[in-house]
Each structure stands twice: as structure tokens, then as C-alpha cells.
A and B are shown apart, each in its own frame.
Chain A
Amino acid sequence: MKNNYFSNHIRLKKWAISWLIIVIGLLFFASYLLPNSKINSSVLSLLPQEQNNNVPIDLINGFQDRLDKQIVWLIKPATNDEIQAVQWWYNTLKQQDFIQDINGQFDQNFQQDWGVFAYQYRYQLADPQTINRLREQTQFDWVLSQIYSPFSGISVNELNNDPLLLTRSAQINQLSTAGNLSITNNWLTGKDNDGNTWYMLYGELTGSSFNMKQSHQIVNQLSILENQLKQQWPNTEILKRGVIFYSDNAATQAKSDISTIGTLSMLGIIFLILAVFRSIRPILLTLLSIAIGILCGTIAVLVIFGEIHIMTIVMSSSIIGVAIDYSLHYLTERLLHGDRESPNQSLTKLLPTLVIALYTSLITYLILLITPFPGLKQLSIFACFGLIGAFLSVILWYPFLVHKLQVRANTGQTLLTLWLNLWQKKAMQLSMIFAALIFIGVGLANLTIDDDIGRLQTIPPILHSEEQQIIAITKQSTDQKWFIVYGETPEKTLQHLEQFLPKLEDAKQKGILTQYQTINLPSKQKQQQNIAIIEQYSPDIITALQQLGLDIKFPSIEKVNHELITPELWLQHAISQGRKLLWFSEENGHSAALIPISGITNINAVKQLAQNEPGVEWLDRRQEFNNMFTNYRVHLTQLLIATIIVICLSFIYRNRHHGVKMALKSTLPILLSVGCALSIQGFTQQPLNLFSMLALILVIGIGIDYSLFLSNHSEQKQSALLAVSMAALTTLLSFGLLVLSHTSAIVGFGLVLVGGIFAAFLFAPLVIKPHYKK
């Protein structure tokens, strides 16, 4: 900056105009980008995409996406058999265009389709028991026992059409469906503990569950229909379960979070600026730099990720408090010294500290980028670009915009001097440190650790209790513990499945697990084997039946249906009822079958089943995520400790000239702020998790600025302290308001930040060298 003032001014003007052109360009770009952008509100997409297994991620996501589209209703009519209400609900759902594939009714057509299909493809669908009996030549004995049994109700008709009783055997040995469900009055039903019948209907959303506006309309429409149902049949109860209800709830809450937090922090900041500056211009200036920050952040996120997550928006509203610091520093400088220096001089004076402040904030936000969480990555990008945008607006434009700003050199001087002098007293320092240590000790004693991802989402009590009731009635938990069997083609997948199932059945017999569900679709290879074996043995059995006196005709070989069942055919028929969700096939042929597992008694034994099995993997997503949370929390803790050590050492190094005591004292603000941030969690019963660690990183990144400013400004302690106080207050305002969020993870995040930043601000004067000159 050795150039003369004039050429410098010209150069700055050029820069300012270039930045203006860029901003106008960005505005145009945003006006094109925003209408076409997608706001994501899925909680799942906040979760990491990384995994520790070999299943193609698209298969897992395909399954997940489909599960997310499911909605289940349970209806309890006034009396157990009053099914008009159920029928009305079924018919009404059928008329809605946002939902497809309504299931739950087993009418005549359904039963007939099931029966006809099972009969037509009885060779292909032969159960393993039948195949075994044929091989062991005991099938005839079994047929005979069925004929003699008074309980079987066999007719001559059945014997003529299916002399080997293949259809019957397949039905007896059909795969069990999990849960506690049965069929009543041709409907799928469950019973609660009081013996009431609940009718179960389920369907699939046509679109994606996660278009916010649509899903809000759908949820509204469904609740209108529910009210109509209850009006017509007053004593009817209805329960629902579906990701759409949760995501809509999350979106609604996030929206109200944004409006509450955003509005309040804006109002608070405006009030604060008015109180200190007593004019409108600084407010407009700060709003300008914040707006440009938000513009840059939003564009960066949309360009890099193609969408912005609703939680990013909630968390990003807290960036305002950080972005505003640059404006405040500059404006405070002008407020106190605007009469003694030109705007450019002020800038020159402040630039080093502003750059350091930006640099520390950028580093802390960039640390968030290495976490595997899409939401946090977005936040990190948003913050980095937003801060750069706000920073550039301050340093390039403010010097041209602050000419008319009034100067009040003595603003808050009494208070600030009092505060600084207070901190000069040894007694004050010691008692404050002592109080902080006690606070930290008590807080840390109450600190617990919990990495459960359930904390990511706060489920409203009503939805939660409905979910619990549904689990109690259907015995179908929402635990997503399953094996996934996959292959490059449907056929390969089914062959892998057939190889694996005996092992699983064996485990079930041993009591390692109580229940598993799988599809009832044999591979083509298996179907062909079945047909061959049945054709080989059936003549002998039919001959034996004829000798018994039964008039049974040989089925001619042409009459045997040799057509093989394809997954498409299977999906089209009633036989796949209740199992369709367990099969997933992509256009490129990649396919997978899910096997949900319940009642696990020995988790390790279950996991081991998948070992050395081609194309079989154990999946427990919640556990996986929890492990991942734990891992990252541990990694971040290590990173944090390393960071704190580096920072403390550099503080000690910086202050080495002022004696050992002073050097050590300069590390106190950061150590105490970290301690207070942690103990706040102990006091508020918020368990420590990954999010607290992330918040701690921000505490360090932001809190360090206060110490830096106060120790840098050897000349003007008051102006530094005023700027720091305002920066701290605005930051506390915007982060503190996160506590109002509906999501406990965000509340915890906010608490840590508030505790930490408040402590950082409180103890920052410790770094001031004793006996400074006013």
C-alpha cells in the first residue's frame, strides 16, 4: 500500500466496479437457477452415502426410495366386522391420483388369481418338500395320507386336476409372511391386545415422497379424507405410517424454524446496530453484505450439489451472525475514528485482522467438508462462499459507501473501559477462571455420549405413538435389518438367493433368528429342475393312485405348462402380494432381493451367515450410521485436540515476550470456551455426539477471532472491544436462536455454540497485556 492515495483510489474503484459486475451477473444467474432448483427435505439424504459393503449403492438407494414411498393405514371400525368404513377408505384411496397400488383387500378376483396362478405354474413353483419326497419316492404315501385325513377336505376334483397335490403342498409349505396378520372378511387384518380387529391397507406414492410442496398437499388431502371418514363413522380409529408424514413434518418445522430464527436474528441484529450506530445506513450496509453472502452461498450450493437441503437453509441462517462480523468491524472503526482517518485508511488498518478472521472461519467451515454428511457439506460450501461474498462486499464497497456515516468517538466508552479495567484486576481474573472451572467440572460430570442417528430427527409425539401402535398390532417393526442378495441379472440374483436360503432356514431352526421374509419366486434354473423331476416321477404315482381305484387320467406331456415365471410375470400376479417390495430390478439387469430379519438372538451369528456367500450382504443401516457417527466423532475429537494444541502453542509462541504467565494465560480463552461449550451440554442433558464436535470446531474458529482482535489492537482497545462485543452479540443471536429449532440435533448444535462463543467472548480480555495505555 505504498502507492499514493489517488492511484490507490482508482484501483479500488476498479475493484469495486468489477465486484459489482460480478454480483449483477450472479443475480441474473440466480434468477435463472432458483426457479429450477430442488429443495430437498429428506432426512435420509442428510445421511452419509458411504458404506462398508459391496452392494451396488444404486440398489440400496432403489430399495430405500421405494420403502420411502410406502404408506400404511390401520383402521379400527366401531365394531370388528363393520367393514363399510374400510371399504370406503379403500375406494377413496383408489380415486386419489397421488397414490397407486392400494393393497389390503383379498376379494374374489384376488383369491382366484392367486389360485389359478398357483395351479397353472404348480410344476415351476413346487416346494422343496415335494421335490424331496419325489426324490425319496415317498410322495405317494403323502398323497394317500392327505386323502385319508378327515381334515384335508380333498375332493376327487382336486385329485383329477392335480394328482400329485402339488398346489396343495405348495400352499401348506408356503413361505410365512412375517408379522401378526391374518385375513378377516377378505381384508388383511391384525389384532391389538384388547382383541380389536384392525384392517390394514397399504399403498405406494406415485411420485417421489420428497417434493416438499406436493407432499404437503398430499398430507393435507389425506387428513381431510381422514376427517371425512370419522364424520361418517364416528367411532372409527385410523393409524398411519409413512415416510411422507415424517418428511412433511420435518419440512413444516424447518420452514417455521427458518422464519422464526431468520426473522428474530435479523430483528435482533437490526436493533443492535441501531442502538450502537443510531442511523439507518449501517443497517442497509450490513443487510447488503449479508444479502450478497447469502446469494453467493446459495449459488455455490446449487451449482455444486444441484439442490439445497432444507436443513442447510436452517443452519445457514446462523451464518448471518458470522458474516456480519466483517461489516461490524469496519463500521465500528468508522464510528469511533471516522473523523480521523479516510475510509481507505480504515480499511488498510483493519484488513490484516479481517483477513485472519475470514481465514480462521473458512478453515473451520472447511473442516465440515471432510465429514461424510451431505447436509454438512452443503453447509460448509454455503458458509465458505457466503463469507467470501460478504467479506468482498465489505472491503470493496464499504469505503465508497461510508462517507456520510456519523462519528461518535465515545460510543460505549465508559462501559467498555469499565469492563477492560475490571479484567485487569487479578482477583477478577482468578475468581472468573475459578467459577468457570467449577462450571466446567459440574457440566462435564453430567455429560453423556450418544451417537444414535435417531436424534437427527425429532418425531412428533402423535406420529410416534401411531407408529408404536402399528408395530404392536402388525409385529412389523421399522428396524431395517436385512440381508440383501444381489446379482448382475435377475436370474443370477435368484440363484444366489436359492443358495443362501437353506443356510438361513437352518439358522432359524437353531433359534439364531425367529423370522425372515423372502420372495416366493424361483429362479428359471430351479423351475426347470422342478419340472424335470416332477415329470420323471409322476407316472408311477398316478399309476399307484389308479390301482387304488381312483379314476385319474395321465396328464399328457403337452398339457404341462413349460412356460417359466419371470420376475415381470410374478409381479403382475396376486402371488407376489406382500412381497413385491422385497424385489428390485434395474433396467441394466442389476437386481436385488431383500430379506428382512426379525427376532435376532445372536447378531454376530446372523452377520456371519453372509460370509463366503456370493452376492449376499448383511445390512443394518441404522447400526451402520451409528457406527459411522461414532467413528467420525472420535476422528473429529482427535482433530479438535490436535487443533487446540496447535492453537495454544502458537498463542504461547506469540506471547513469549510477555513472560511465561502471560503466554499461558493467552491460551485460557480458547480452553475455557471449549470447556464451557461441553459442560453446557452436560447441564442441558444433551448427549455428546458428532454434532457437538462440529459445533466445537466452529466455537474454536469463531472464538479465536475475539482473542486475536483484542491482542492485535495494541492501540485502540476500546474500538477492538466494541467490535468484538458486537460481533459476539450478533453471533450469539444468530446461533443462539438455533435453540428454538424443532430438531434436537440443531438445538444441541446451537447450545454448544452459544456456550462456547459466550465463554470465548467473556474470557477474551485475558489476552490483553497488563497495564495497557488507554
Chain B
Amino acid sequence: MKKYFITCFTLLMMVSHFSYAITLEQLQLQFAQYPVTRADFTQDRYIQGLSKPLHSTGKMIISKTLGLWWQQKTPFIMTLKMNDQRMEQQIANQAPQIITAQAQPQLFQFNSLLSAVFDADKNTLEQNFTLTLSQQDKQWQLILHPKAAPLNKIFTQIELSGTKYLSQIIIDDKQHDKTIITFTNHNTKPLTTDEKQLFQ
């Protein structure tokens, strides 16, 4: 069930391309701006009982047409690809773990939510989350509180913040674990042929 998370996450990444947007309506205009976004990420997972967080780094690409490509480089390589039909997670020397809309129908539901986000479908977003959008100087912050099961069983809240691009995601888990993902080196050039291959 916790896989919805992926979708939500992607959803959040989509919310990353706007600046000075105060209303969701204005977001919609921002979305159309960049078909592709790349960034490096640093992730720290604070898990109860661990003296120090699990630290990892890597790269990600979001394409409006192809979905999300996420690759952790350290401490070990792990690649994750996702679109609105399937998600594939692979670590070295292992068969990829594939989850499809058909095998995990719930996931499919969230994907339709995702496509609603593409269109900044305010109604769909507001159906699933309580949204709080605020702004200080050039820094905006969007807090999502999941409304219904199973989202609200997984996390308490998701906090996105950024200026021109999304720069940080903080996920507060129901188990009091916390994940902080920070993005740097944003780049919005069109996909190269090699990059397109990554999504295959």
C-alpha cells in the first residue's frame, strides 16, 4: 500500500515548476512551462533507532511525457523509473521489481490523480489533500495533508518548498520517521537521445 507514495512524490515533483504562484490556478500556467526538469538530490532518512540518518545521493529527471527517472548513486546504485502505467525499481544484479497499474490497481488510481495534477486539476488535488500554500519573499511553501485512507495512513504531511524550482521535500511519516530530500543543479534542457533511453 505504501507505493502510493511514489505517485504522490511524483505529483510533488510536478508542483516544482512555479514561482510566485499564490493560487493553484496560477500553478497550472507554470506547469506547462518546462517539459523536462533535471536535478541532483541528496536524501537523508531519519529512522527511529538509528543513531545517524541513512544518507544517499543521486540524480533525477522528470519528463512530462515519459515520467520520472530516479537514480541513487551512493551508497549503492538503485534505479527507479515510473510513468502512469508502471513503476520499475532495480538494484544491481537483480531482476527489476515491476509494479503495474494492473497488478496494483490502487496505484492506478493515484496515477489518475497524477494526471489530474498535470492539468492542475484543483478539484482532484483538493479531493485528496488539504492544501496550504504560502509565500515569504521569493520562497513558496506548499503543505499537503492527506485527507483519506490510505494516504493518511502512510504520512502525516508533505511539505514542498522552492523558489523558481522545487528545492526541498520533507516527508513526515506516520511512524515519526522523517525523510528530507534536497534538490540542486536544476536544468530544464530538452531530453537527449541517451536520456530518453533511460526511461525505456
Residue of chain A at shortest CB distance from B7? A151
Indicate if the CB atoms of B91 and A141 lie closer than 8 Å. Answer: yes
Task: A154 to B43: give the CA distance in the assembly, Å.
Answer: 15
Which residues of B have CB within 8 Å of A155?
Answer: 47-48, 173-175, 177
Provide the residues of chain A in CB contact with B173, threshold 8 Å.
Answer: 153, 155
* B189 close to A (CB within 8 Å): no
Interface window among B16-24, B100-108, B190-198: B100-108
Q: How many Å from the CB of B6 to the closest CB on chain A? A: 4
Taking CB atoms, residues of chain A closer than 8 Å to B112 are 191
Q: Identify the closest chain B residue to A475 (Cβ).
A: B102
- Give the contacting residue for A156; candidates B89, B109, B155, B175; CB below 8 A: B175
| Interface contact B177-A156, CB-CB below 8 Å | yes
Task: Check: B78 CB closer than 8 A to any chain A CB.
Answer: yes
Say whether A133 contacts B89, CB under 8 Å: no
Q: A141-B91, A145-B91, A150-B45 are in contact. Are A176 and B5 (CB under 8 A)?
A: no
Q: Using known A-B contacts A145-B78, A150-B181, A156-B175, determine if residue A174 contacts B54 with beta carbons closer than 8 Å.
A: no
Instruction: Verify if B139 is at the interface (C-beta below 8 Å from A).
Output: no
Tell me whether A153 and B155 are in contact (CB under 8 A): yes
> Which residues of chain A are within 8 angstroms of B148 by Cβ–Cβ distance?
185
- Which residues of chain B come closer than 8 Å to A177, judged between CB atoms? 105
Chain A residues within 8 Å of B109, by CB: 182-184
Determine if B117 is an interface residue (Cβ-Cβ < 8 Å): no
Q: Which residues of B contact A174 (CB under 8 A)?
A: 103-104
A148 partner residues in chain B, CB cutoff 8 A: 43, 45, 54, 56, 72, 75-76, 78
| B105 A182 Cβ-Cβ under 8 A | yes
Q: Give per-residue flags for A123-147: 1 if the beta carbon is below 8 A from chain B beta carbons, else 0.
A: 0000001000100001001101101
Measured CA separation A529–B54 after assembly (Å): 35
A156 touches B99 (CB 8 A): no
CA distance A172 to B5 in the complex (A): 14
Contact A156–B48 (Cβ < 8 Å): yes
The answer to the question of A149 belonging to the interface, with a C-beta cut-off of 8 Å to chain B, is yes
Contacts of B49 in A (CB 8 A): 156, 550-551
Contacts of A175 in B (CB 8 A): 103
Q: In the bound complex, do residue A153 and residue B5 qualify as a contact, i.e. CB atoms below 8 Å apart?
A: yes
* Chain A CB within 8 A of B93 CB: yes
Q: Which residues of B contact A184 (CB under 8 A)?
A: 109
Given the complex of chains A and B, what is the CA–CA distance between A535 and B51 in angstroms?
29
Q: At the interface, is chain A mostly helix, strand, loop or mixed?
A: loop
Min C-beta distance of B163 to chain A, whole Å: 22
Pair B89/A149 contact, Cβ less than 8 Å: yes
A23 within 8 A of B: no
Asked if A525 is at the interface of the complex by the 8 Å CB criterion, the answer is no
The proximity string for B residues 43-75 relative to A, scoring 1 for CB distances below 8 Å and 0 otherwise, is 101011111101010000000000000001001
- A149 adjacent to B80 (CB under 8 Å): yes
Whether A549 sits at the interface, judged by CB under 8 Å, is: yes
Cβ proximity bits A338-358 to B, threshold 8 Å, 1 near / 0 not: 000000000000000000000
A150 and B9 form a contact (CB under 8 A): yes
Q: When the two chains form their complex, are residues B43 and A181 in contact, meaning their CB atoms are under 8 A apart?
A: no
Q: Taking the complex as formed, is B200 at the interface, i.e. its CB lies under 8 A from any CB of chain A?
A: no
Separation of A191 and B154 alpha carbons in the complex (Å)? 25
Which of these, B6, B106, B154, contacts A183 with CB under 8 Å? B106
Cβ-defined partner of A144 (8 Å) among B2, B76, B95, B155: B76
- A120 within 8 Å of B (CB atoms): no
A81 touches B127 (CB 8 A): yes
List the B side residues contacting A572 at CB < 8 Å: none
Closest residue of A by beta carbon distance from B78: A145
Interface residues in B150-188 (C-beta closer than 8 Å to A) = 154-155, 171, 173-175, 177, 179, 181
Q: Is the pair A150, B179 in contact by a Cβ cutoff of 8 Å?
A: yes
Q: Once the chains are docked, how many angstroms separate the CA of A156 from the CA of B50?
A: 9
B94 at the interface (CB under 8 A from A): yes
Within the complex, the shortest CB–CB distance from B129 to chain A, in Å, comes to: 15
B61 to chain A minimum Cβ distance, whole angstroms, is 15
CB distance from B78 to the nearest CB of A (A): 5
Name the residue on B nearest A144 (C-beta).
B76
Q: Which residues of B contact A142 (CB under 8 A)?
A: 91, 94, 97
B94 touches A133 (CB 8 A): yes
| Interface residue A604 (Cβ < 8 Å from any Cβ of B) | no
In the assembled complex, the CB of B176 is this many whole angstroms from the nearest CB of chain A, namely 8
Assembled-state Cα–Cα distance A156/B173 (Å): 11
**Does A157 lie at the interface of the complex (its beta carbon under 8 Å from any beta carbon of B)?**
yes
Q: Which residues of A contact B47 (CB under 8 A)?
A: 147, 154-156, 550
Q: Which residues of B contact A156 (CB under 8 A)?
A: 47-50, 175, 177
Kindly state the separation between the CA atoms of A176 and B181 in the bound complex, as whole angstroms.
32
Specify which chain B residues have a CB less than 8 angstroms from the CB of A18 in the assembled complex: none
B43 to chain A: which residues have CB within 8 Å? 148, 150
The proximity string for B residues 103-135 relative to A, scoring 1 for CB distances below 8 Å and 0 otherwise, is 111101100100000000000000100000000
For B149, the closest partner residue in chain A by CB is A186
CA–CA, A302 and B156, complex, Å: 70
A634 to chain B, nearest CB (A): 42
User: When the two chains form their complex, are residues B103 and A152 in contact, meaning their CB atoms are under 8 A apart?
Assistant: no
* B145 / chain A contacts, CB cutoff of 8 Å: none
A150 in contact with B171 (CB, 8 Å): yes
| Distance from A247 Cβ to chain B, minimum over Cβ atoms (Å) | 32
List of B residues within 8 angstroms of A151 by Cβ:
2-3, 5-6, 9, 80, 89
A191 contact set on B, CB distance < 8 A:
112
Q: Which of B102, B106, B174, B177 contacts A176 (CB 8 A)?
A: B102
Determine the chain B residues whose CB is within 8 A of the CB of A176 once the complex forms: 100, 102-104
* Residues in B whose Cβ lies below 8 Å from that of A129: 95, 97
Question: In this assembly, does A171 line the interface, its C-beta being within 8 Å of a C-beta of chain B?
Answer: yes
| A174, B173: Cα distance in complex, Å | 25
CB distance from B77 to the nearest CB of A (A): 10
Looking at the assembled complex, report how far the CB atom of A326 sits from the nearest CB atom of chain B, in whole angstroms: 66
Chain A residues near B100: list those with CB within 8 A: 176
Q: 1/0 per position for A169-203, CB-CB distance to B under 8 A? A: 00111111100011111100001000000000000
Instruction: Return chain B residues, CB-CB under 8 Å to A515.
Output: 102
Question: How far apart are A119's CB and chain B's nearest CB, in angstroms?
Answer: 13
Q: Contact mask A391-425 → B, CB, 8 Å, 1/0? A: 00000000000000000000000000000000000
6 interchain pairs (CB within 8 A)?
A81-B127, A148-B54, A152-B5, A176-B103, A181-B105, A549-B50
Top 7 closest pairs, chain A to chain B, by CB: A155-B175, A182-B105, A153-B2, A176-B103, A151-B6, A145-B91, A182-B109
Q: Chain B residues in contact with chain A, CB under 8 A?
A: 1-3, 5-6, 9, 43, 45, 47-52, 54, 56, 72, 75-76, 78, 80, 89, 91-95, 97, 99-100, 102-106, 108-109, 112, 127, 148-149, 154-155, 171, 173-175, 177, 179, 181
- Not counting A145-B78, A153-B155, a sample of 16 additional A-B residue pairs whose C-beta atoms are within 8 angstroms of each other reads A144-B76, A145-B76, A145-B91, A149-B72, A150-B45, A152-B3, A153-B154, A155-B177, A156-B50, A175-B103, A176-B102, A176-B104, A177-B105, A184-B109, A549-B52, A550-B47
